């Protein structure tokens, strides 16, 4: 082949990370469209193409400014189109060339190329011979260290007797940076080219020798059974050579920290084992990250940290009274448990479960308890939790595993004896992932939770010092085994007086402060507060009441901003200007003595209510109509009332066949409201008796009680709420079952002073008290019942008909 001396216009092929040399054979795949066009154009011509390296391998569509100007004119030896995307090309380098200028071409890079450097053979000098020998010796040393080089390459080196050819051959077969190879390609003087190449190879040999030393030292540290950790040992040697042994120092410090924490023997042993595993793993792997997270989590747990309690019963009682009005039974129970704990640290108090309607202060009083005794508290919301792992934690084999909510709450509190409030424990539900309520059995059992094992921690943790208080809206929704582990305390709905005191002493001052309203600018009368309670809210708690007070304060804030000196006065006369028309009306009650109309007392989830019952007897065929959205239990009570009256037909001179010759219609007013429960039995029996005899019922009397078919009056629940409804409606006398007499002790003095309670045992006593008649019934116990009705009791029982209307 002849050297060319004139410029040629050739297609240009940019290479990424490769420098072409003369006499060098190279095969590679071409994927870029413009490069393929350059190959096609060269094949259609004389098969010559100019090959040069890109300055930046990341450029996908290089221009003339993105490539080195000096390259090699090559001849295309073979082109194989393997598929639609890639083309395999084999080229042979011919001469050095340089780009003179770019030639416009739409399909590919095209440029004018001229010869670069002296392509003719030159006479050798003594220096050239010495440099060639030095290069050959250096290359032999390089081959000893370099992996995967052809065995016959030394033979080809020995056959090279021209400096330029030797330099190009060596440069094309050694691992050097693109910039260094390009510098060798652009060096015109042969002696200088040899020197540059020798210097570059000496530097590369030094790096390779250091690398080999590192590998040999790594091999000395491991034996046959530790080959799996070869890469890890290489990293260790590198860190030692650089003086950066930080990781070993971190693990040593971790071991030291574990020893200083005085952990239980089992825990310390497990953590040290994890440290050993971490030490053998490569840095940055997924498993090492999992182990590091696990160790950090375990060390964050308060294994030996205890918060010192300050159990001053007087101070606790004072704070509870200051934060919450009423709830005396809950406060008393808390004081009792704290008193026992103060006397003995070994006492493990039973878990308290506060059960009551929404908004009665279950969660807030639990938080106040923690503040009063100096314990850190944390609320754990359990509503809607379905996965057992939420309680016990996830095993570490799962991705993104973490401790359960109990261990996580203790970690956040930073103490081993916090107060944990398990909120909405009745809202737990089970599915295919497990039953979280079953997982709580161990947590809430003081005989078992001293060694509670979370699946993530997988180590026993003592929960016996944790004070648990759970809350629920419905005790019946709590599984029986879990409920058996807790001391259930019922929080009934607030009475009218309790709501008034809560609003006046707590809600209104708090919201005035939040709204930025000063006392001098706002006044609200007691009657206005009562009117908000009576006519704008129907709830067991005080959340809606608080929202109504906020609505009043918002309108007051507008007036105060308009005139900072104004005083907003809210009373029962102008209340509708702030809250609109009344949302609820007074309970319907009998205004005068009427036949067949009796004032019944009802219990609802939002408090007590007065619910009159009507009874009409008409000639007919013995049909019994029960209306007013009555439930099954209440319908059965109506049948029991009819039977009780039938057994007394002779005593009260009633037609014994009244149930055959008449149609009886019993109706509970407010028919749109569903009603159920057994405690309307005496009310129905009294209404039926009045309708049959034509004798009116006293309008100032209300009654409640379950009736048996023999006429006995049986106990009921919700008497406190029912009594409040009677008081609010102006009823002066309330007939109650004898067994409920003990409930009167816990009633507000205001109620006991304004209502006369009449405890009874049979329907005969009820009729003697409620029926207006000049002729006394023939009941033997009528006289004694009036004496018994004047007595009151001193004890109270829990509500036994929870969830029932009566």
pLDDT exceeds 80 at position 559 = yes
| Higher-scoring residue by pLDDT: 2, 582 | 582
Distance of CA 151 to the CA centre of its chain: 65
Class of the 126-214 domain? Answer: mainly alpha
* pLDDT score of 569: 92
Lookup: tokens for 213: 């030393």
Do the beta carbons of residue 205 and residue 141 sit within 8 Å?
yes
Q: What 8-state DSSP symbol labels residue 41?
A: H
Using 50, 70 and 90 to split pLDDT, how confident is the model at 349?
low
All residues at 6 or more sequence positions from 614 whose CB lies less than 8 Å from its CB, including other chains:
596, 597, 666, 667, 668, 669, 687
Using 50, 70 and 90 to split pLDDT, how confident is the model at 361?
confident
Q: Minimum mean pLDDT among 225-229, 344-348, 565-569: which range?
A: 225-229
Distance of CA 381 to the CA centre of its chain: 8
Identity of the highest mean pLDDT range in 84-88, 405-409, 473-477? 405-409
All residues at 6 or more sequence positions from 800 whose CB lies less than 8 Å from its CB, including other chains:
715, 716, 717
Percent of all residues in the chain with a pLDDT value above 90, rounded to a whole number: 16
Rounded average pLDDT over 692-701: 91
Q: CA 390 to CA 404: how far, in whole Å?
A: 5
Q: Which helix (H) or strand (E) holds 736?
A: strand 733-737
| Higher-scoring residue by pLDDT: 790, 226 | 226
Using 50, 70 and 90 to split pLDDT, how confident is the model at 2?
very low
Query: Given 35, 172, 679, 723, which residue is catalytic?
Result: 679
pLDDT (tens digit per residue) in 463-480: 888 888 999 888 888 888
Lookup: tokens for 633: 């239990």
Rounded average pLDDT over 290-317: 85
The CATH fold of domain 597-789: Ribosomal Protein S5; domain 2 (3.30.230)
Strand partners, 619: 662
Of 249, 372, 245, 392, the residue nearest 320 (C-alpha): 372
* pLDDT score of 801: 28
pTM for this prediction: 0.58
Q: Is 225 a catalytic residue?
A: no
Do the beta carbons of residue 699 and residue 592 sit within 8 Å?
yes
Q: Which helix (H) or strand (E) holds 238?
A: helix 230-242
Rounded average pLDDT over 700-709: 93
* pLDDT score of 451: 85
Query: Given 362, 722, 728, 738, which residue is catalytic?
Result: 722
Q: CA 469 to CA 424: how far, in whole Å?
A: 11
DSSP string, 297-350: HHHHS-SS--PPP---HHHHHHHHHHH-SS-HHHHHHHHHHHHHHHH-TT--PP
| Higher-scoring residue by pLDDT: 146, 544 | 544
| Beta strand pairing call for 467-472 and 701-703 | unpaired
Rounded average pLDDT over 613-636: 90
Do 8-115 and 313-490 show the same overall fold?
no
Rounded average pLDDT over 496-510: 88
Of 450, 422, 249, the residue nearest 351 (C-alpha): 422
Q: What 8-state DSSP symbol labels residue 286?
A: H
| Higher-scoring residue by pLDDT: 206, 495 | 206
* pLDDT score of 232: 59
* pLDDT score of 242: 60
DSSP string, 748-805: -HHHHHH-EEEEESBHHHHHHHHB--SSPPS-TTHHHHHHHHT---S-----SSTT--
* pLDDT score of 805: 32
pLDDT exceeds 80 at position 618 = yes
Q: CA 467 to CA 778: how far, in whole Å?
A: 60
- Tell me the domain boundaries of the chain: 8-115, 126-214, 245-300, 313-490, 496-579, 597-789
Superfamily of domain 8-115: LON domain-like (2.30.130.40)
pLDDT exceeds 50 at position 794 = no
* pLDDT score of 239: 60
* pLDDT score of 151: 60
The CATH fold of domain 313-490: Rossmann fold (3.40.50)
Q: Which helix (H) or strand (E) holds 365?
A: helix 362-373
3-state helix, strand and coil shares in percent for the chain, rounded to the nearest 5: 45, 20, 35
pLDDT exceeds 60 at position 803 = no
**Three-point CA angle 388, 389, 392, nearest 5°:** 95
Do the beta carbons of residue 631 and residue 676 sit within 8 Å?
yes
Using 50, 70 and 90 to split pLDDT, how confident is the model at 523?
very high
pLDDT exceeds 70 at position 439 = yes
Q: CA 116 to CA 93: how far, in whole Å?
A: 14
Do the beta carbons of residue 30 and residue 87 sit within 8 Å?
yes
| Higher-scoring residue by pLDDT: 431, 97 | 97
| Higher-scoring residue by pLDDT: 93, 161 | 93
Q: CA 180 to CA 178: how far, in whole Å?
A: 5
Among 1.25.40.10, 1.10.10.10, 1.10.10.60, 1.10.8.60, what is the CATH number of 496-579?
Answer: 1.10.8.60
pLDDT (tens digit per residue) in 263-286: 888 888 888 888 888 877 766 677
| Higher-scoring residue by pLDDT: 174, 504 | 504
Do the beta carbons of residue 388 and residue 404 sit within 8 Å?
no
Neighbour-count burial for 220-255, b at 16+ CB within 10 Å, e otherwise: eeeeeeeeebeebbbebbeeeeeeeeeeeeeeeebb
pLDDT exceeds 60 at position 782 = no
* pLDDT score of 783: 37
Do the beta carbons of residue 746 and residue 719 sit within 8 Å?
no
Q: Minimum mean pLDDT among 128-142, 409-423, 508-522: which range?
A: 128-142
All residues at 6 or more sequence positions from 282 whose CB lies less than 8 Å from its CB, including other chains:
231, 232, 235, 288
For the chain, give the mean pLDDT: 81
Do the beta carbons of residue 256 and residue 299 sit within 8 Å?
no
Do the beta carbons of residue 644 and residue 709 sit within 8 Å?
yes
Strand partners, 210: none
Do the beta carbons of residue 372 and residue 319 sit within 8 Å?
yes
């Amino acid at each position: 082949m002849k050297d060319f001396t004139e410029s040629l216009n050739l297609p240009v092929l940019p290479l990424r990370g490769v420098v072409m040399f003369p006499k060098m054979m190279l095969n590679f795949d071409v994927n870029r469209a413009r490069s393929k066009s350059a190959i096609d154009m060269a094949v259609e011509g004389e098969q010559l193409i100019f090959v040069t390296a890109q300055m930046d391998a990341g450029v996908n569509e290089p221009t003339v400014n993105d490539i080195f100007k000096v390259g090699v004119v090559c001849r295309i030896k073979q082109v194989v189109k393997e598929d639609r995307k890639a083309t395999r090309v084999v080229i042979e380098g011919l001469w050095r060339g340089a780009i003179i200028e770019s030639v416009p071409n739409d399909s590919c890079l095209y440029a004018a190329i001229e010869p670069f450097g002296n392509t003719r053979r030159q006479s050798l000098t003594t220096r050239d011979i010495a440099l060639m020998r030095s290069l050959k010796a250096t290359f032999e040393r390089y081959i000893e260290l370099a992996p995967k080089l052809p065995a016959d390459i030394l033979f080809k080196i020995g056959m090279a007797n021209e400096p330029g050819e030797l330099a190009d051959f060596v440069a094309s077969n050694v691992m050097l940076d693109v910039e260094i190879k390009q510098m060798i390609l652009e060096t015109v003087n042969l002696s200088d080219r040899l020197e540059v190449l020798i210097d570059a190879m000496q530097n590369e040999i030094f790096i390779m020798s250091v690398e080999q030393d590192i590998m040999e030292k790594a091999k000395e540290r491991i034996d046959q059974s530790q080959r799996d950790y070869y890469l890890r040992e290489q990293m260790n040697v590198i860190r030692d050579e650089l003086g950066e042994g930080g990781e070993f120092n971190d693990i040593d410090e971790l071991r030291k920290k574990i020893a200083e924490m005085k952990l239980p023997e089992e825990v310390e042993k497990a953590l040290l084992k994890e440290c050993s595993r971490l030490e053998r793993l490569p840095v940055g792997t997924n498993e090492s990250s999992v182990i590091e997270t696990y160790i950090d989590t375990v060390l964050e747990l308060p294994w030996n940290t205890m918060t010192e309690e300050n159990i001053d019963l007087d101070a606790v009682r004072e704070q509870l009274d200051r934060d919450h009005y009423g709830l005396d039974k809950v406060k008393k129970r808390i004081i009792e448990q704290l008193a026992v704990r103060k006397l003995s640290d070994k006492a493990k108090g039973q878990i308290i479960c506060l059960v009551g309607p929404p908004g009665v202060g279950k969660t807030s009083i639990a938080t106040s308890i923690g503040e009063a005794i100096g314990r850190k508290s944390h609320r754990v919301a359990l509503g809607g939790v379905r996965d057992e792992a939420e309680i016990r934690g996830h095993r570490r084999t799962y991705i993104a595993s973490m401790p359960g909510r109990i261990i996580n709450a203790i970690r956040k509190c930073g103490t081993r004896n916090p107060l944990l409030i398990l909120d909405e424990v009745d809202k737990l539900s089970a599915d295919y992932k497990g039953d979280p309520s079953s997982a709580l059995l161990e947590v809430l059992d003081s005989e078992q939770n001293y060694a509670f094992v979370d699946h993530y921690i997988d180590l026993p943790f003592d929960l016996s010092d944790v004070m648990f208080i759970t809350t629920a809206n419905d005790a019946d929704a709590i599984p029986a085994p879990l409920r058996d582990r807790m001391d259930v305390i019922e929080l009934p709905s607030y009475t009218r007086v309790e709501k008034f005191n809560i609003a006046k002493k707590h809600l209104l001052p708090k919201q005035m402060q939040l709204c930025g309203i000063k006392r001098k600018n706002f006044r609200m009368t007691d009657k206005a507060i009562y009117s908000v309670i009576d006519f704008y809210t129907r709830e067991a708690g005080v959340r809606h009441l608080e929202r109504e007070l906020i609505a009043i304060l918002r309108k007051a804030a507008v007036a105060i901003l308009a005139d900072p000196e104004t005083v907003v006065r809210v009373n029962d006369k102008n209340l509708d200007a702030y809250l609109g028309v009344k949302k609820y009306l007074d309970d319907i009650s009998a205004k005068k003595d009427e036949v067949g109309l009796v004032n019944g007392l009802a219990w609802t989830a939002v408090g007590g209510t007065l619910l009159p019952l009507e009874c009409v007897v008409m000639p007919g065929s013995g049909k019994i109509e029960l209306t007013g959205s009555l439930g099954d239990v209440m319908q059965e009570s109506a049948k029991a009332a009819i039977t009780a009256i039938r057994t007394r037909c002779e005593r009260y001179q009633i037609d014994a066949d009244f149930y055959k010759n008449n149609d009886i219609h019993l109706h509970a007013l407010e028919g749109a409201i569903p009603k159920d429960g057994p405690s309307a039995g005496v009310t129905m029996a009294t209404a039926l008796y009045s309708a049959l005899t034509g004798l009116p019922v006293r309008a100032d009397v209300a009654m409640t009680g379950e009736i048996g078919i023999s006429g006995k009056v049986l106990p009921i629940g919700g008497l406190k709420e029912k009594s409040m409804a009677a008081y609010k409606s102006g009823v002066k006398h309330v007939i109650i079952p004898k067994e409920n007499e003990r409930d009167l002790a816990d009633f507000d003095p205001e109620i006991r002073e304004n209502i006369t309670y009449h405890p009874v045992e049979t329907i005969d006593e009820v009729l003697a008290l409620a029926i207006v008649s000049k002729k006394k019934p023939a009941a033997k116990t009528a006289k004694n019942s009036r004496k018994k009705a004047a007595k009151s009791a001193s004890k109270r029982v829990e509500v036994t008909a929870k969830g029932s209307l009566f």
